[in-house]
Amino acid sequence: MKLIFEKSKPGRGTAMLPPCDVPFAEMDESLKRKAPLPLPEIGEGELARHYSELERRTHGVNNGFYPLGSCTMKYNPHLNEDIAMMVGFNRIHPLQPERTAQGCLGIIHLAEKLYCEITGMDAITFQPSAGAHGEFTGIAMIRAYHQKNGEDEQRREILIPDAAHGTNPASAAMNGYKVVTIPSGPDGCTNMEAFRSAVGPKTAGVMLTNPNTLGIFEKNIAEITDLVHTAGGLCYYDGANLNAVMGIVNPGAMGFDIIHLNLHKTFSTPHGGGGPGSGAVGCKEILRPFLPVPIVSETKNGYTLEYNRPDSIGKVRSFYGNFLVVVRALCYILSLGSDGVKEASEGAVLNANYLRKKIADGKYVAYKEPSMHEFVLGLSELKKETGISALDIAKGLLDYGIHPPTMYFPLIVEEALMVEPTETETRETLDEAAEAFNTLFRMAKEEPEKLHGAPFTTPVKRPDEVEAARHPILRYQFD
């Protein structure tokens, strides 16, 4: 440990822990390992082949088109990784003194300011580990707000559209709320008659995303948030689809009081594999007192982590959060600039509408309303005509090197495929993707039995799903 630190050459702003100077022989016996680590002993060549094989079996944006709806699987610029790997960032330690981490605390403070500007919020925390974790945190803050005002026993309902992400009702229920489901209208937007009748003195708040999961901008969003505020509730914005509107309109202007951001979706940080993630939560001034502790505060003596906040909901994870994810996200928006942030959203909307038109001339689009960053195909008629399901089309896309879109969601669309091309794909890629879709639609009518067997070129072919459900092969078994 001492040798590593002495040979390193920290860059500007580097903060490090002092090296351990206690020889192993002088360490307390309780700190010493009693047995060797049970690690496999293999050659470097075998190790390299192992990971290369895993990479070959895994599909990512570096392998091909990845139009996973509502997940925004966009390209992550390598610049973000270069900055995050700077020694002054990646050797930071959560237990080191604040005075030795001023540069990193300054990074968080700057990110807070810029993301507040993008979202229209007054304060933000990067503590939550993921989007769903951010949702839970946000609803916990809403409940703390009503408890502070003595209305928690009265306000027991959260209104959620039927097309919402599944984590929305889960987050509300985990915070002790009753979920009131609001149906969508024929235009794909919230049914306003049903919404008006549902809002009342029991309403703690509403959760929705805009654009919604159908890729449609809620045209009545101002009335929705006004109705909830008039009833004494709060408005929560699911930030999963912010990639369609950032730099153009912000949730604060729509009337929302609190939001979460999926930094891995909109702001190009790593996505998948369980992390690392960040579900940043932003809020208006009325909810600032309830933010998780600690928060980063700027004082005349520098930056500090502030814990003395009596109305805070407390910590929602260890330490502050995934700091290097924040570094990547900040790098992304700084490299884009204000004009680039807006252009990214415009590109996402343009690409979605271009691909929507190219796929069967829009024949299978579930809703004819203009799309934002994504659109939903409804293949129920195709299934009736040919027996080919959305699952069959998704499997067939794998043979073209395309990751399947989100399948069978939202639940209000039969045989749904939700497609989100993102702004980082070229027109040539979109043309190739449209041709793949259209070829599969022709195959559905001409060779349906063949398509039932797809995919044919992947390392793992189509499994027997009935057999897998009835007789799963478990990798791990517990007594």
Query: pLDDT tens digits, residue range 90-117?
Result: 999 989 999 999 999 999 999 999 999 9
Q: Are strands 234-238 and 281-283 parallel, antiparallel or unpaired?
A: unpaired
Q: Which residues of 387-408 are buried (b: 16+ CB within 10 A; e: fewer)?
A: ebbbbbbbbbbbbbebbbbbbe
Question: What pLDDT, on the 0 to 100 scale, is given for residue 22?
Answer: 67
Cα 55 from Cα 146, distance rounded (Å): 49
Question: What pLDDT, on the 0 to 100 scale, is given for residue 10?
Answer: 41
Cα 432 from Cα 271, distance rounded (Å): 24
Percentage of residues in the chain with pLDDT exceeding 70? 94
Cα 361 from Cα 20, distance rounded (Å): 66
Query: pLDDT tens digits, residue range 155-199?
Result: 999 999 999 999 999 999 999 999 999 999 999 999 999 999 999
Residue 385 has pLDDT above 80, yes or no: yes
Cis peptide before 405 (omega within 30 of 0): no
Span 294-313, average pLDDT: 95
- Going from N- to C-terminal start, the domains of the chain cover 79-335
Instruction: Grade residue 12 by pLDDT with cuts at 50, 70 and 90.
Output: very low
Residue 409 has pLDDT above 90, yes or no: yes
Question: What pLDDT, on the 0 to 100 scale, is given for residue 318?
Answer: 87
Query: pLDDT tens digits, residue range 329-366?
Result: 999 999 999 999 999 999 999 999 999 999 999 999 99
State both tokens at 42. Answer: 């293999």
Span 45-56, average pLDDT: 92
Instruction: Grade residue 14 by pLDDT with cuts at 50, 70 and 90.
Output: very low
pTM for the model stands at: 0.88
Furthest C-alpha separation in the chain: 78
Instruction: Grade residue 403 by pLDDT with cuts at 50, 70 and 90.
Output: very high
Query: pLDDT tens digits, residue range 137-147?
Result: 999 999 999 99
Going by C-beta distance under 8 Å and a sequence separation of 6 or more, which residues neighbour residue 10? 16, 87, 88, 91
Instruction: Grade residue 16 by pLDDT with cuts at 50, 70 and 90.
Output: very low
**Which class would CATH give 79-335?**
alpha beta
Cα 343 from Cα 423, distance rounded (Å): 9
Going by C-beta distance under 8 Å and a sequence separation of 6 or more, which residues neighbour residue 165? 70, 209, 213, 238, 240
298-312, 436-450, 455-469: which has the minimum mean pLDDT? Answer: 455-469
